[in-house]
Amino acid sequence: MFSAIARVFRTPDLRRKLLFTLAIIAIYRVGVFIPAPGVDYSNVQQCLAAGTTSGGLYQFVNLFSGGALLQVSIFAMGIMPYITASIIVQLLRVVIPRFEELHKEGQAGQATLTQYTRYLTIALGLLQATTLVSLARSGALFAGCTLPVVPDDSLLVVLLMVITLTAGTGLIMWMGELVTEKGVGNGMSLLIFVSIASGFPASMGQIISTQGWWVFAGVMLIGIVVVALVVFVEQSQRRIPVQYAKRMVGRRTVGGTSTYIPLKVNMAGVIPVIFASSMLALPAMLVQFNIRPDGTLPDWALWVQTHLSGTSPLYMAIYALMILFFTYFYVAITFNPTEVADNMKNYGGFIPGIRAGRPTAEYLQYVLARITLPGAIYLAFVALIPLIAFVQIGADQNFPFGGTSILIMVGVGLETVKQINAQMQQRHYEGLLR
């Protein structure tokens, strides 16, 4: 392993890209701990130490911001506005024909869609920054903590906080694009990877201090099994053979080659888990806004707290069903069998034993529907691991090996290693790992 790393750093161009990527990551992590203007940093730390943070959506967004949200830092919004904007733009391709046309125009169309994503990211960052500042001012961000997070809540201070948090979102987006362009791997994905990985040492340390070494050993064992499962499924694919007929172009014979269409078992990635988690976090968020002055809750809010919490069987069942639904939904809008079949037909390609055109599209849809089911069940299983762990060992938020965190970390890690391996093979005819 060390010899492989040494080979990477002996390559000047690749070494420069890796050092640039590490520098951007270091700047990002420093920004996580710089408090936004107007925030009393000592009071925030006391509220965090008291364990009075609200769960649900706050913890979910805090995971993707590397802890910056509950630090109320300049990078508090993290990468979530960009993720949301990217998903919205992708979904709009189904609704708005112009977006689908831009997608088919190649590089120029993709550049226009990227610009739309940037504008939407800033708009969502502004909206979420306003919400976060309102929660911090009202004390809802740290439920039960009486210390003021924003001592001076004048209009000027509030505007400065909102502008700073929105600018932080834009800066993170810019840094991610810089890594994609000049570094190694996908910049946005790497920033998410770093955000999630930064919380692992604290989570593992808290499990040791509160649950003991035996529980820690059990968590590590479960983690190894989950990582192996995720790597196995993420690499699994159904290869549909494709044959291209020979044809004459001028005096040359082209075509006649064999290839395949790789259909991954988990084509939706982590998006269904994000969708389901966000949807189920909204009722808990509404409860926070309906606490009466005397601290009591309405009847409907009590029902939500009882039956839609992370340890409730009803919550787990709804969570799993929503993951199954969003998996099929997302795969249906991102993979178009008819479009793939038409492209194959235009270039003289066909699946052996299947007629070109509509029969090919129907066959691809048939295969896709059947490999999506095990992929959806796998996503639901991995997402439920931390909830089951809370019931069994009381790990709750400190259980790191499950849900979105491990899916993203393994997926990004595999993709980054593949990119480094490809660049090594281009330069030395030898991959990263022999």
Q: How far is CA 10 from CA 18, 182, 265, 432, in A?
A: 11, 18, 37, 12
Asked if 193 and 311 sit in the same domain, the reply is no
Alpha helix ranges (H) inside 212-336:
213-235, 271-288, 299-307, 313-334
Asked if 290 and 153 sit in the same domain, the reply is no
Asked if 90 and 204 sit in the same domain, the reply is no
**Whether the Cβ atoms of residue 403 and residue 199 lie closer than 8 Å to each other:** no
* End position of a domain, from candidates 198, 216, 247: 198
Looking at the domain assignment, is residue 421 inside a domain?
Answer: no
Q: Which of 168, 206, 170 is closest to 74 using CA atoms?
A: 168
Asked if 143 and 214 sit in the same domain, the reply is no
DSSP helix/strand/coil, 85? helix
pLDDT for 163 equals: 92
CATH number at residue 89: 1.10.3370.10
CA pair distance 73, 48, nearest whole angstrom: 13
pLDDT for 259 equals: 81
Asked if 96 and 143 sit in the same domain, the reply is yes
Looking at the domain assignment, is residue 255 inside a domain?
Answer: yes
Looking at the domain assignment, is residue 428 inside a domain?
Answer: no
pLDDT for 166 equals: 92
Q: How far is CA 126 from CA 29, 121, 165, 167, in A?
A: 22, 9, 8, 9
Looking at the domain assignment, is residue 413 inside a domain?
Answer: no
Asked if 268 and 392 sit in the same domain, the reply is yes
Asked if 207 and 189 sit in the same domain, the reply is no
Question: With b meaning 16 or more CB within 10 Å and e meaning fewer, what string describes 82-91?
Answer: bbbbbeebbe
Asked if 66 and 210 sit in the same domain, the reply is no
Looking at the domain assignment, is residue 429 inside a domain?
Answer: no
Determine the angle formed by the axes of helices 187-197 and 155-182, rounding to 10 degrees. Answer: 120
pLDDT for 4 equals: 66
* Domain limits for position 177: 1-198
Looking at the domain assignment, is residue 184 inside a domain?
Answer: yes
Task: Give the number of other CB atoms < 10 A from CB of residue 197.
Answer: 16
* End position of a domain, from candidates 198, 232, 251: 198
Sign of torsion, CA 124 128 129 131?
A: positive
Question: For tokens 């269904």, what's the residue?
Answer: 272
Asked if 167 and 281 sit in the same domain, the reply is no
Looking at the domain assignment, is residue 433 inside a domain?
Answer: no
Asked if 295 and 245 sit in the same domain, the reply is yes
Q: Bridge partners of 262?
A: 239
Q: Return averaged pLDDT per consecutive 10 residues of the chain, 434 residues in all.
A: 69 84 90 84 75 54 68 82 84 82 81 90 89 78 73 84 91 90 84 82 76 78 82 86 72 69 85 79 70 67 72 82 89 85 82 84 89 90 75 55 73 81 70 58
The whole-angstrom distance between residue 365's C-alpha and the CA centroid of its chain comes to 26
Host H or E run for residue 263: strand 258-264
pLDDT for 143 equals: 66
Looking at the domain assignment, is residue 409 inside a domain?
Answer: no
**Structure tokens given for 102:** 């831009």
When divided into structural domains, the chain yields a total of 2
Q: What are phi and psi of 264, to 5 degrees?
A: -70, 150
Q: Which of 236, 234, 245, 238 is closest to 260 using CA atoms?
A: 238
Asked if 133 and 259 sit in the same domain, the reply is no
- Residue 238 DSSP one-character state: E
pLDDT for 174 equals: 92
Asked if 119 and 262 sit in the same domain, the reply is no
**Cβ partners under 8 Å of residue 164, min gap 6:** 36, 37, 74
Q: Where are the beta strands (DSSP E) in 83-218?
A: none
pLDDT for 23 equals: 92
CA pair distance 243, 257, nearest whole angstrom: 6
**Cβ partners under 8 Å of residue 6, min gap 6:** none
* End position of a domain, from candidates 178, 198, 218: 198
CA pair distance 92, 89, nearest whole angstrom: 5
